[in-house]
């Protein structure tokens, strides 16, 4: 198991991202939190702002952990689609921006702040529903597709980074069903004992990231340390 010394959490105000940042700080690690309200602020819709934030943090680098903890399933304007008849361009654009495009652009701008040698982890929160082989219920078109695309990005990224960054592990993480704003409208369907607190999920995910090896790079790993198959 490897401890981290300097972490960058993107999406830290969120339930899971904030809980991970809090836990790492309580263990004596340096943590930088980025969000739309942080200083510097970031917004996935503003790539210029992402570049500026990365430049502003250069003096705090290198980061041996970069975690992308942002995600969206629904908003006041839309919810997850139950049918293809509910697909709307504006909702799909927002879901893919936050769940896929934003993390990809964040990788472009923040990976240069990670070490080329020595163990480090670049991780993004994904979801089991992004698994194609595990899709038995259908629905949630945009969310499923955006997370499947994120998983493919992490896999592809891991191949390239394997050539350039010694011992950097790229991971997609499934946190379980966590008691956050994202899951709140759907918690009635969660089996007893399977709705996790943000702190519990954070504890498990930190352990997964610490224990991951180069053999795990590119995989989608759940909170229990098990691989979620594509």
Rounded to whole angstroms, how far apart are CA atoms 69 and 35? Answer: 10
Rounded to whole angstroms, how far apart are CA atoms 188 and 208? Answer: 28
Q: Rounded to 5 degrees, what are φ and ψ at 81?
A: -75, 130
Residue-range domains of the chain with CATH: 6-222 (3.40.50.720)
User: Please, which pLDDT band fits residue 108 given cuts at 50, 70 and 90?
Assistant: very high
- Residue 193 zone, left/alpha/beta (φ > 0; ψ -120 to 50; rest): left
pTM of the model: 0.94
For residue range 59-98, what is the model confidence (pLDDT) as tens digits? 999 999 999 999 999 998 999 999 999 999 999 999 999 9
Q: Which residues contact 45 (CB under 8 A, 6 or more apart)?
A: 97
User: Please, which pLDDT band fits residue 2 given cuts at 50, 70 and 90?
Assistant: confident
User: Please, which pLDDT band fits residue 166 given cuts at 50, 70 and 90?
Assistant: confident
Q: What is the share, in percent, of the chain residues with pLDDT greater than 90?
A: 87
Identify the residue with better confidence: 186 or 158. 158
Q: Mean pLDDT across the stretch 139-147?
A: 97
Q: pLDDT value at position 1?
A: 66
Q: pLDDT value at position 40?
A: 93
Q: pLDDT value at position 159?
A: 98
Q: Which residues contact 64 (CB under 8 A, 6 or more apart)?
A: 4, 5, 6, 7, 114, 115, 118, 119, 120, 121
Collapsed DSSP state (helix, strand, coil) of residue 62: coil
User: Please, which pLDDT band fits residue 187 given cuts at 50, 70 and 90?
Assistant: low
Q: Mean pLDDT across the stretch 127-139?
A: 96
3-state helix, strand, coil in the chain (%, to 5): 45, 15, 40
Three-state SS letters, 115-145: CCCCCEEEEEECCHHHCCCCCCCCCCHHHHH
Strands of the chain, DSSP E: 6-10, 30-34, 65-68, 120-125, 168-174, 177-178, 195-196, 220-222
């Amino acid at each position: 198991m490897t401890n981290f010394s300097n972490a960058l959490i993107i999406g830290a105000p969120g339930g899971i991202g904030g809980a991970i940042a809090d836990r790492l700080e309580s263990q004596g690690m340096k943590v930088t939190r980025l969000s739309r309200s942080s200083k510097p602020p970031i917004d996935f819709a503003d790539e210029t702002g992402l570049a500026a934030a990365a430049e502003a943090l250069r003096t705090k680098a290198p980061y041996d952990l970069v975690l992308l903890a942002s995600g969206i399933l629904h908003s006041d304007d839309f919810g997850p689609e139950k049918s293809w008849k509910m697909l709307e361009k504006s909702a799909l654009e927002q879901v893919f921006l936050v769940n896929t495009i934003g993390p990809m652009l964040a990788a472009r701008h923040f990976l240069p702040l990670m070490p080329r040698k020595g163990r480090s982890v670049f991780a993004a929160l994904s979801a089991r529903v992004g698994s194609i082989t595990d899709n038995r219920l259908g629905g949630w078109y945009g969310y499923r597709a955006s997370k499947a695309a994120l998983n493919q990005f992490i896999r592809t990224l891991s191949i390239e980074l394997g050539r350039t960054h010694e011992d950097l592990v790229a991971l997609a993480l499934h946190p379980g069903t966590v008691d956050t704003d994202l899951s709140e409208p759907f918690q009635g369907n969660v089996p007893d004992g399977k709705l996790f607190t943000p702190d519990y999920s954070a504890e498990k995910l930190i352990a997964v990231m610490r224990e991951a090896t180069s053999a795990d790079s590119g995989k989608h790993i759940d909170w229990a340390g098990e691989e979620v198959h594509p």
